[in-house]
Structure 1
């Protein structure tokens, strides 16, 4: 098979796993760079306005629907199932199972999209019931309904893309799924640029022409189609025959559905937390936009440093569990926790301490100073929870690799309940200008507690005597990050700037100094040498 048509069926040898993860990290960085540009462009064109709220809220609904209905089945249990069949050489069975998941989810989600389109006016009314005057609420609901008609078909694309990505990941092929978001970002950036050109520089309002609506909403859905189409094309060009079927009586499909039900509970709970954000954030002008912009910055270090570890180790963990390799399973889990904690904690320190310079340096256009301050406050609120969020999702993958989807779901229900209460309380007690930050703080508190609980439960099942090792692996980087964050906050309070160039210089200078200080401090505290991680990324044993 030539390089132009990669054969995903021949799984990479173990020695190539680290190189695949390194490639995934590099390509994820490229995708996230374009994603960063997309965030800035959307904020600049739509602003922290009611139009921005409507766009972000309506575009979030397909993700919520997909996560609620089928994402748990695909994300949590399909990859281990495919790995087990491919390892025993039964590719035909793997193809049939993947095809059944694809066919059944496509039919289900098509029906959901149709029902959602019919219910769009009521969904929009519920979403936009608390912001602005009666006329503003009516305008938001009207435009939100139209946006939902454009956006809801995305759920079908997501199903096809995620099944194809699962097939690729089961063969340790991570590169193309990592770069697929780039296509989405480029298309959305182009759509926003065209929308801005059509508006001829006019301030964003809720009253759009038909062409403006088609360009903005249609371009966004076209981006999702490009994002999901790339992994599908990669699988179709391989020797793995992914053909949809409707075999709902197949024993493995029925087993996946049972296991996936708990994973669906996990993801449904996460979406309920997002619903809390939408309901409360829409009561503040630009609140949802500010929260979503800050959340995208929050996801950047997660995507660069934690997601490659989660994605790369998940098939390995599933394979080790299937082979009853308990020692290897525990060692892989510890290595994942240690790597995620070391890389993510330092990024969290920079993100939280430098939120002001970040928002000042990169946000422009229709983003007001008030909106930039909201983003900066939300970044500070999100930062402490970055480590908890990353470790919580890693611990969930470890549990899924063991075939246990129930424990993460139950813990996540508690996380969402606690997070929703924390968000509501924080929103109620702080001034209007700090309410977006209060939502972010609630998110952080919930996932810090959830990560501690889930890691304790997962490790207790596999190797309770190793819990102290994991505690040390996390506490060292967390302490180092806290010290660095405090120093950086002091630095931003001493050095003031009123220009974008000055903010960028401050960001680069303090960010570089903070990164070096974090590496040195964690090393001095007995943490890993940076060369260990560099060697791992190059495929050498540490």
Structure 2
């Protein structure tokens, strides 16, 4: 556990700075463009390249490329260097072509992810998409560089690189707001120059992030030399393995497409309660997952892949068990605190510039629902890595199919049954239920693969963590009620709620969990105490 904890701590530090600057980026951007027509148009245009990247190549990086690189490092006489160069060559060429095609298809892509938009809103979104879609190439090249760094157990750069992206985007959003002020949210008055600033500024941030990763890869000894002898690139093996990954990502993106269209339609029926509200709430839901779970997952996969390659299933079981415990010990209280303090978080971040307190509170209500999903979503992602370490990309496809079926069914029910203002909250609840069911099914299948995952012991540990976290949630709820009674809800009172309710609540949880001798908390407390003692 100590190896995973140390590696995860290094990554978590970078991810925390990245996510905090991401907080600022999101807040400044929302203050500049709002959550109405322009905000919805930007968020759909911004999301499409991320979707296409995941759909076309992103999924195979985590599930296929890392385990294959590790196998080639062990088996090839040159330690896999030529294989890595072929992989980078293929990525540069393929991703550049993908970006060009995506720009040419910007209009039908916007039409695919929007619903009931008028011509003006659609045209603005298409213009933004044409500026933003080229980032597919830079995003992908940086991700390949990050994957190669991970196989060398170099985790810092991939976690710190997004900080530069956030800083660039913060600067772009500030310039946009200073230039337009209160009229920056009016989709009818923004000029082509304004859209150029937003669109190319967004892409410039990804370019900077890519350059950081490429430079870091060079510093660890990787020398890129284009190699077009792709017959030796193992494309046949990669294609066979990745075909299931493409199916997994395609199914997952189908679910995201349904959610996006429903959220877009909800925004037309209840302005301000549409896709932007869902997107911003989801970003904040991803904060604790990104800081805690992604760090553990990234450290876990290479080690589990090596354990499978060496035939040591005990290593796989131990790495997974350590990962689940480390993830859950902090995500359990984080999820409960989000459920209580969601509106306080979003009022503090979003009630500035062209945003209103009511709009910020609504985003917080959606975030509260997402708080329910934090633990099951994270455990589901950890379970997928068990299958990926075996080179099994087939089983996750069927898990994704079930996940999307549950999510889509409940989402459609929410869209047609709920009042317009509550639809997005219903979509978040459908997401939660889908991952609760998905995590349960994935656990059963993964346990069969590795000969057991100590389900009873993990369930007992989770129960103790929730028991330790309940007083923290009660404290946060009390602070929330008292502050609202005395001052109402504005940015200052939200800051008090978060400092007293969230900060003291987390300290209370750590103290109770330490007294209950939950080992992961004791490890964290011991590590922090050791650092402070130095």
TM-score of the alignment, normalized to the shorter chain, above 0.5? yes
Give the match for residue 3 of structure 1.
none
Displacement of 1:279 in angstroms is: 0.5
Counterpart of 1:354 in 2: which secondary structure? Answer: helix
Within 1, Cα distance between the matches of 2:137 and 2:470? Answer: 43
Counterpart of 1:464 in 2: which secondary structure? Answer: coil
Task: Tell me: CA distance 1:424–1:161, structure 2 relative to 1, closer, same or farther (3 Å).
Answer: same
> Does the aligned pair in 1 maintain the 2:74–2:80 contact within 8 Å?
no
Within 2, Cα distance between the matches of 1:91 and 1:349? Answer: 51
Displacement of 1:231 in angstroms is: 1.0
Q: TM-score, normalised by structure 2?
A: 0.91
Displacement of 1:21 in angstroms is: 2.6
> Does the aligned pair in 2 maintain the 1:102–1:159 contact within 8 Å?
no
> Does the aligned pair in 2 maintain the 1:157–1:224 contact within 8 Å?
yes
- Please say which of residues 93-102 and 164-173 is displaced more in the overlay: 93-102
Within 2, Cα distance between the matches of 1:19 and 1:48? Answer: 40
**Which segments of 5 or more consecutive residues in structure 1 lack a partner in the other structure?**
1-13, 132-136
Give the match for residue 45 of structure 2.
58
Give the match for residue 142 of structure 2.
161
Within 1, Cα distance between the matches of 2:289 and 2:94? Answer: 31
> Does the aligned pair in 1 maintain the 2:66–2:151 contact within 8 Å?
yes
Within 2, Cα distance between the matches of 1:244 and 1:304? Answer: 35
Give the match for residue 118 of structure 1.
104
Displacement of 1:54 in angstroms is: 0.5
Within 2, Cα distance between the matches of 1:421 and 1:73? Answer: 27
Give the match for residue 445 of structure 1.
433
> Does the aligned pair in 2 maintain the 1:357–1:504 contact within 8 Å?
yes
Within 2, Cα distance between the matches of 1:436 and 1:86? Answer: 46
Q: 2:279 aligns with which of 285, 292, 297?
A: 292
Within 1, Cα distance between the matches of 2:203 and 2:494? Answer: 34
> Does the aligned pair in 2 maintain the 1:358–1:376 contact within 8 Å?
yes
Q: 2:120 aligns with which of 126, 139, 143?
A: 139
Displacement of 1:355 in angstroms is: 0.9
Q: 2:519 aligns with which of 503, 511, 528?
A: 528
Within 2, Cα distance between the matches of 1:126 and 1:39? Answer: 25
Superposed, which structure 2 residues align to 1:339-350 within 5 Å? 339-350=326-337
Within 1, Cα distance between the matches of 2:310 and 2:8? Answer: 23
Displacement of 1:64 in angstroms is: 0.7
Task: Tell me: CA distance 1:142–1:355, structure 2 relative to 1, closer, same or farther (3 Å).
Answer: same
Displacement of 1:462 in angstroms is: 0.8
Q: 1:210 aligns with which of 182, 192, 195?
A: 192
> Does the aligned pair in 2 maintain the 1:103–1:244 contact within 8 Å?
yes
> Does the aligned pair in 2 maintain the 1:345–1:387 contact within 8 Å?
yes
Counterpart of 1:282 in 2: which secondary structure? Answer: helix
Within 1, Cα distance between the matches of 2:111 and 2:452? Answer: 50
Within 1, Cα distance between the matches of 2:65 and 2:509? Answer: 38
Give the match for residue 180 of structure 1.
161
Give the match for residue 312 of structure 2.
325
Give the match for residue 238 of structure 2.
256
Within 2, Cα distance between the matches of 1:524 and 1:461? Answer: 36
> Does the aligned pair in 2 maintain the 1:348–1:481 contact within 8 Å?
no
**Which segments of 5 or more consecutive residues in structure 2 lack a partner in the other structure?**
none
Displacement of 1:340 in angstroms is: 0.9
Displacement of 1:109 in angstroms is: 3.0
Displacement of 1:29 in angstroms is: 1.0
Is 1:394 paired with 2:369? Answer: no
Q: 1:275 aligns with which of 251, 257, 268?
A: 257
Counterpart of 2:454 in 1: which secondary structure? Answer: helix
- Please say which of residues 90-99 and 76-85 is displaced more in the overlay: 90-99
> Does the aligned pair in 2 maintain the 1:301–1:344 contact within 8 Å?
yes
Give a deviation string over 1:454-493, Cα, whole Å, max 9, x none.
1221122112373322332334334544664466445523
Give the match for residue 509 of structure 1.
500
> Does the aligned pair in 2 maintain the 1:262–1:405 contact within 8 Å?
yes
> Does the aligned pair in 1 maintain the 2:32–2:177 contact within 8 Å?
yes
Q: TM-score, normalised by structure 1?
A: 0.90
Q: 1:420 aligns with which of 387, 405, 408?
A: 408
Give a deviation string over 1:65-92, Cα, whole Å, max 9, x none.
111111122221111122233345x473
Task: Tell me: CA distance 1:25–1:466, structure 2 relative to 1, closer, same or farther (3 Å).
Answer: same
Superposed, which structure 2 residues align to 1:354-365 within 5 Å? 354-363=341-350, 364-365=352-353
Is 1:77 paired with 2:64? Answer: yes
Displacement of 1:36 in angstroms is: 0.6
CA RMSD of aligned residues (A): 2.4
Task: Tell me: CA distance 1:516–1:17, structure 2 relative to 1, closer, same or farther (3 Å).
Answer: closer
> Does the aligned pair in 1 maintain the 2:16–2:291 contact within 8 Å?
yes
Counterpart of 2:116 in 1: which secondary structure? Answer: coil
Within 1, Cα distance between the matches of 2:375 and 2:85? Answer: 36
